[in-house]
Amino acid sequence: MLFDYVASFIVLLMLVNKTLSVDCESHRYGLNCSFDCGHCKDGKPCSTETGNCFDGCEDEWTGKLCDIECKNGTYISNGKCVKCQGLCKDRAPCNKSTGTCDNGCDDHWTGKFCEECADRFYNSNCSGICGFCINDEICDKYNGSCPNGCLEHYKEPFCQDCEQGFHGEYCDKECGKCRDGAVCNSFNGVCPNGCEDNWILPNCTVCEPYRYGPNCTLDCGHCKHGKVCSVETGTCPNGCEEGWTGEHCDTLCSDGTYVSEGNCVKCQGVCKDHAPCNKSTGTCDNGCSDHWTGKFCEECLDGFYNKQCSGVCGSCLLGNICDKIDGHCANGCSTNYLEPLCQDCDPGFYGEQCEKKCGKCKSDAACNTLSGRCPDGCVDHWAFPYCTECEPYKYGDNCTLDCGHCKQGLPCSVDTGNCNTGCKKGWAGTHCTVSTNAEKELTTMALVIISILSSLLGQTRTE
């Protein structure tokens, strides 16, 4: 019985002993309190039996015992260390308790955990840069494709490269005329096998010199100073070479014409030796032909007129020049000249300067302006052809008076009727009309005969 008591006392002691052993030093647990607690929150002790922390772990620690520390590049999620989701700035590890990036995301990354590519970047590294999506849309962040297609002339679906046949920084340039229809390099526009005929390397977008037109098949005209014409329009930058005209300087003005306002027009005047005028200026390079003057030798020299400047002016008053077109003298003629040309004498005058008066021409006719001859004979008793003197044996203002009986049958003075050498025998007086010895009848008879004879003579002269 006593043994039973003793035995149960020992057991009791043992129990007590065990109970006492549970009371470990702070931050220790387990049998014999041989284990240290983990990293409990706020430095609290853990359960002395199990070692569990009551209110969770200190930052960056996990596990029931808060004895697991996450490595750089991982963070605690559901009590486990998992890989950081994204990429923090400067590739820093993410916050081990939250998984976020304490100093922000690395370039090209975004999202709460910097786990997503920023707009316009793609692929697992967010190193891909979006192409040229239509409407400036952003590309898919995983595969980089544009959701609704590309900007014009970019290649689907990534819109990074130019569509075939285009090149340039914005794929806005069409390939030139590559030989055999080849496609140009989409970056530099170079045609791989050279150009079609008439185009030049490297891009085959420019015509060979001196060619133009959509296919570079047209030849430039004659541009001034040998310049190249515009490849689009074919026009010359500084106008045409001398003598050429037309929009493309491909029309040559023929001799005798020149370029005026883009057209070939007739030379205006007459050049020396009838040379053609200068085709670009219209002037006469070696001067004017005789009788011509003016910038273009287009005007008659003073003193000449008509279309050929062959007309010589007449005697204009005071030596004025005549009109260069029709030859008339604007202020009238010199004395005795005939208006309007002042070339001929006034009727009734003749001589080199029309200074001589015509004689007594029959019917008041004008005499020949050069010779002074009367065309149709004289007024009665005047001597043909000039009709300026009396017929022989006539005298007086109107030559109507008969001479007397002058010696040797000579005519009397036409002015006075005097017989200057004296009278015939039997006659006397200054006019020798006074009979000295002959019978009156005889004298009268003789006078009648003489009168008839002389009138007959006058008639034959005027015929």
Q: Name the nearest CA neighbour of 392 among 449, 456, 463, 447.
A: 456
454 vs 443: CA distance, rounded Å = 16
Q: What is the largest CA-CA distance in the chain?
A: 254
Name the one residue in this structure whose structure tokens are 């006019």.
431
Which residue in 108, 141, 153, 173 binds ligand NAG (CB under 6 A)? 173
Minimum CB–partner distance for residue 145 and ligand NAG (Å) = 4
337 vs 347: CA distance, rounded Å = 9
Contact 395, 412 (CB under 8 A): yes
Minimum CB–partner distance for residue 317 and ligand NAG (Å) = 33
Closer to ligand NAG by Cβ: residue 121 or 292 = 121
354 vs 369: CA distance, rounded Å = 7
Closer to ligand NAG by Cβ: residue 42 or 397 = 397
44 vs 53: CA distance, rounded Å = 8
Q: Which of residues 280-319 bind ligand NAG (CB under 6 A)?
A: 280-281, 285
Which residue in 194, 256, 351, 396 binds ligand NAG (CB under 6 A)? 396
By CB under 6 A, residue 72 contacts ligand NAG: yes
Partners of 146 in the β-ladder = none
Q: Which of residues 80-99 bind ligand NAG (CB under 6 A)?
A: 92-93, 95, 97-98
Minimum CB–partner distance for residue 285 and ligand NAG (Å) = 4
Q: What is the full DSSP assignment across 194-228?
A: -BPTTEETTTS-EEPTTEESTTS-EEP--BGGGPP
419 vs 20: CA distance, rounded Å = 211
111 vs 461: CA distance, rounded Å = 145
By CB under 6 A, residue 157 contacts ligand NAG: yes
Minimum CB–partner distance for residue 202 and ligand NAG (Å) = 6
The token duo for 8 is 């149960």
Minimum CB–partner distance for residue 329 and ligand NAG (Å) = 35
Closer to ligand NAG by Cβ: residue 242 or 389 = 242
128 contact partners, CB below 8 Å, separation of at least 6: 121, 122, 144
Minimum CB–partner distance for residue 324 and ligand NAG (Å) = 26
By CB under 6 A, residue 217 contacts ligand NAG: yes
Q: Which residue is nearest to ligand NAG (CB)?
A: 189
Which residue in 45, 165, 168, 303 binds ligand NAG (CB under 6 A)? 168
Q: Name the nearest CA neighbour of 359 among 375, 376, 374, 381.
A: 374
Closer to ligand NAG by Cβ: residue 213 or 351 = 213
Binding-residue total with ligand NAG (CB under 6 A): 41
- Binding span for ligand NAG by CB under 6 A among 1-9, 317-325, 392-400, 409-417: 392-400
CA distances from 416 to 92, 259, 397, 435 (A): 157, 78, 9, 19
By CB under 6 A, residue 143 contacts ligand NAG: yes
Closer to ligand NAG by Cβ: residue 257 or 369 = 257
By CB under 6 A, residue 222 contacts ligand NAG: no
By CB under 6 A, residue 32 contacts ligand NAG: yes
Helices marked H in 107-215 — which ranges?
none
x/- letters, 189..208, toward ligand NAG (CB under 6 A) = x------------xx-x---
- Binding span for ligand NAG by CB under 6 A among 106-114, 396-404, 410-418, 442-450: 396-404
By CB under 6 A, residue 124 contacts ligand NAG: yes
Q: E strands, 143-182, where?
A: 166-167, 173-174
Contact 51, 33 (CB under 8 A): no
User: Which residues of the shown chain bind ligand NAG in the complex (CB under 6 A)?
Assistant: 31-32, 34, 59, 72, 92-93, 95, 97-98, 102, 123-125, 127, 140, 142-143, 145, 157, 167-168, 173, 188-189, 202-203, 205, 213-215, 217, 242, 278, 280-281, 285, 396-398, 400
